[in-house]
């Protein structure tokens, strides 16, 4: 092996990789720091994704538009009124405007209804009695 001028043996460059040789202790600490940085970046990405997924929560009696799921389900593409929310605000009980049917919908499939959508899908039922106590604890799983 060649030795560079004014350098000790530990600074000899490896022919295979072209990088200075390190002791195993230094290599472990560098690996640990990289793993910590990677884990921190991953945690930040998850936190941002969770924040985006949370989105706005809907008030009771507010009008929402059901956007999904992508399969042929009753109520998709319809305006509904929020009747009740689960404790973690991830599922909502809604009453469809056109028939008064009550559905449980995930938050990711709801958005606030625009004025044009409300006019296009008016309320066609007379079910105004509030729904009694609806417990959604079993739906939160």
In terms of C-beta density within 10 A (0-12 exposed, 13-18 middle, 19 or more buried), how is residue 104 classed?
Answer: middle
Q: What is the DSSP letter of 129?
A: S
The residue among 83, 79, 82, 80 whose CA lies nearest residue 117 is: 79
Instruction: Band the pLDDT of 11: cuts 50, 70, 90.
Output: low
Q: Has this prediction a pTM greater than 0.75?
A: no
pLDDT at 10: 55
For residue 96, pLDDT beyond 70: yes
For residue 51, pLDDT beyond 70: no
pLDDT at 131: 54
- Token digits of residue 120: 């296009």
For residue 21, pLDDT beyond 70: no
Half-sphere exposure of 136 (CA within 13 A, CB side): 18
Tell me the sheet residues that pair with 85: 92
Task: Tell me the CATH number of domain 63-125, given options 2.30.30.140, 3.50.40.10, 3.40.50.720, 2.40.50.180.
Answer: 2.30.30.140
């Amino acid at each position: 092996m060649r030795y560079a001028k004014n350098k000790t043996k530990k600074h000899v460059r490896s022919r295979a990789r072209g990088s200075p040789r390190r002791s195993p202790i230094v290599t472990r600490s560098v690996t640990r720091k990289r793993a910590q940085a990677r884990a921190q970046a991953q945690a930040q990405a998850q936190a941002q994704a969770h924040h985006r997924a949370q989105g706005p929560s809907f008030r009771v009696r507010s009008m929402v538009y059901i956007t999904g799921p992508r399969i042929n389900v009753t109520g998709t593409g319809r305006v509904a009124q929020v009747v009740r929310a689960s404790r973690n605000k991830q599922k909502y009980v809604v009453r469809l405007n056109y028939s008064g049917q009550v559905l449980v919908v995930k938050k990711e499939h709801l958005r606030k209804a625009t004025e044009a959508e409300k006019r296009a899908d008016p309320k066609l039922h007379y079910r105004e009695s509030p729904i009694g106590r609806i417990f959604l604890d079993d739906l939160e799983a």
